[in-house]
Amino acid sequence: MSSQPKSYLTAEDYLALERQADYRSEYYRGEIFAMVGASREHNLISLNIAASFHRQLAEHPCEVYTNDMRVRVSPTGLYTYPDVIVVCGKPQFGDEQNDTLLNPTVLVEVLSESTEAYDRGKKFEHYRTLSSLSDYLLVTQDAYHVEHFARLADGQWLLSEAKGRESSLRIASIACDLALDAVYHKVEIP
């Protein structure tokens, strides 16, 4: 039995398909990767974080987007959908559709079993190539735990963690505080 050759898609082909699709997919190096649906907890956590940022940034020149805003990591060619995005200053988009953001300031990924290794590893490797990115947050679904990676002036990344329901962390680049009791509001933690 012979294997089918993979068909290579350009980024333009991907965008044309994605804009018509009923489901979301990521794109990298000519291949499309279907995204799995999110759990109730995943959705609540993403919305809680977006709501917290939105409230705190209401009077600032920043915008908050949820998981339907696509990000293009221009240096590597990855197209992906982070769970929460903050962009400060004028948003830059890939084209006139304004659905592919190029300059995120903060990216948040809510971890799941199927994506945790990728979110921590290769995806973060891609994200680090974005000169606009100052902060990356990884949020656990089954414990009060948020990991915060902040880019330092020398380009290195500093990890800080918040653990426990009463904990919080400060995202200095956008002058926001993230309280874990708000992040996990209505989420049942065992």
> pLDDT tens-digit profile of 5-64?
456 899 999 999 999 998 899 999 999 998 877 899 999 999 999 999 999 999 999 999
Beta bridge partners of 90: none
pLDDT at 37: 78
pLDDT at 4 over 80: no
How far apart are alpha carbons 117 and 113 in whole angstroms?
8
How far apart are alpha carbons 115 and 118 in whole angstroms?
5
Which amino acid, 131?
A: S
- When the candidates are 3.30.565.10, 3.40.190.10, 2.40.50.140, 3.90.1570.10, the CATH number that belongs to 39-183 is 3.90.1570.10
Q: pLDDT, tens digit, for every residue of 65-119?
A: 998 999 999 999 999 999 999 999 999 999 999 999 999 999 999 999 989 999 9
How far apart are alpha carbons 111 and 52 in whole angstroms?
19
Residue 178's closest CA among 187, 188, 168, 186? Answer: 168
Beta bridge partners of 92: none
Whether 85 and 106 have beta carbons less than 8 Å apart is answered as yes
Q: How many CB atoms lie within 10 A of CB 97?
A: 10
Looking at the whole model, is its pTM more than 0.75?
yes
Q: pLDDT, tens digit, for every residue of 120-152?
A: 999 999 999 999 999 999 999 999 999 999 999
